[in-house]
Amino acid sequence: MSVQIKTPEDIEAMRRVGRKTAEILDFITPYVKPGVTTEELDQLCAEFVTKVQGGYSPNLNYSPPGHRPFPKSICTSPNHVVCHGIPGPKKLKDGDILNIDVAMVLDGYYGDTSRMFMVGKPTIQGKRLVEVTYEAMWRGIRAVRPGATLGDIGHAIQSFVEPLGYSVVREFCGHGIGKRYHEEPQVMHYGKPGTGLTLVPGMMFTIEPMINAGRAGIRILADGWTAVTADHSLSAQWEHTVLVTETGFEVTTLSDGAPPPP
């Protein structure tokens, strides 16, 4: 496993793109309400990225091996959609939960973050899942420090959500990020303490747990991208980009509108 250690110049650039990427989510927040379509949210974000933030979306036409090009600039994943939902004409309704996953390239560096939104008045089940998943992400983030391992991160998340009756999606993980969208290491959201890669200062990666209200199983829809829960239960995800520092961690995808840590 070849993990790139970021230079001070890399880190400054990643702080800039991380904050600007998070600001996309601040911008779109007031538009997330009953009656709006996810396609409208995508169009608003795409214009904001290019005209205000001065970057571009790496999601648009993104086509890893074996996949058709992703047709939109953001991912919108409501209710039982786990991740990679394609924006479309369906309107959001009162009580929906929605993940919006945004990425941006600025000066050759990639930013990546996602946030959950509760549309109108949330259900008790939906609100609880969103809150637990947010806490789970932060438990994973707080496990980051020099000398810790990737297994410590996964264990912090898994050991918190499973006793509450929730499950961790296994098919997707966090990833290294920098001058490339996806780098090593892969960051699993489950695991055993003390196992896996040892963290050192200068590593940078996303932590982005996908937590299901029911079982962990998923399936991929015919579009080749959209992942949904196999049992149609609700799913939630939050994502931050994290730097390993000399003394612990730094979250580089914070903005003025980001929810405070739990």
pLDDT of 181-228, one tens digit each? 999 999 999 999 999 999 999 999 999 999 999 999 999 999 999 999
**Alpha helices, H only, the chain:** 8-28, 38-51, 124-142, 150-161
**Within a domain: residue 256?**
no
Instruction: Confirm whether 200 is domain-assigned.
Output: yes
Residue 48 lies in a domain: yes
- The count of structural domains within the chain is 1
Q: Do the domain assignments include residue 262? A: no
- Report the distance separating Cα 81 and Cα 88, nearest Å: 13
- CA distance readout (Å), 253 to 23, 207, 247, 256: 9, 11, 19, 10
Does any domain span residue 149? Answer: yes
pLDDT of residue 108: 98
The answer to whether residue 197 sits within a structural domain is: yes
Which residue carries 């196999």 as its tokens?
230
Report the predicted TM-score, pTM, of the whole model to 2 decimal places: 0.97
CATH code, domain with 59: 3.90.230.10
Residue 259 lies in a domain: no
Q: For the chain, which residues score pLDDT lower than 70? A: 1
Average pLDDT, the chain: 98
Cα-Cα-Cα-Cα dihedral sign, residues 192, 195, 197, 201: positive
- Does the residue 261 lie in any domain? no
pLDDT tens-digit map of 122-151: 999 999 999 999 999 999 999 999 999 999
* Residue ranges making up the domain that contains 215: 8-251
